[in-house]
Amino acid sequence: MNETQGHSQEGRRTGQCLCGAVRFTAVPSKMETGVCHCNMCRRWTAGPFFAVDCGDSLVFDAQDDLEIFRSSDWGERGFCRKCGTPLLWQLHDKTHVSVSLTAFDEIDDMVFTSEIFIDEKPDIYTFANETKKMTGAQVFALFTDAQDN
């Protein structure tokens, strides 16, 4: 496979929102997913947000109904305005995009490896998977160098 418009085709996989109005392809940086337990993600997705780091590889095949909501000083969230499916979280400059795991068509080969904002996880559920867990403060510390918060 060759590259198209600078975007690698290797490992590229398809996904879409519930109604199909927004369709995309992306290349996961790793075959791994992590979940965010933060209050914003849980309110937005109606559950913990399973995300896949896709670098800057996200390409939309159909995006007329893609809505971008600025949710914080550093991040924004993309969803379908027709059906409401949460699709992505990204930095404003789009240098880092986390795509919703459950928006991809195929996810059975992904491994669940990390949980962030573990300190905001409600007590009513706990995942049994062996994962690396980080608090919100630890996550912000990772971003401090690149972001002015």
Footprint of Zn ion (CB under 5 A): 17, 19, 21, 36, 38, 41, 80, 82-83
Smallest separation, CB 29 to Zn ion (Å): 18
Give 4 or 69: the residue with its C-beta nearer to Zn ion. Answer: 69
Smallest separation, CB 8 to Zn ion (Å): 26
Give 57 or 98: the residue with its C-beta nearer to Zn ion. Answer: 98
**Of 91, 137, 96, 117, which Cα lies nearest the Cα of 39?**
117
> Under a CB-based contact definition with an 8 Å cutoff, are residues 55 and 47 in contact?
no
Smallest separation, CB 27 to Zn ion (Å): 22
Distance CA 109, CA 112 (A): 10
Give 2 or 84: the residue with its C-beta nearer to Zn ion. Answer: 84
Smallest separation, CB 66 to Zn ion (Å): 9
Give 28 or 117: the residue with its C-beta nearer to Zn ion. Answer: 117
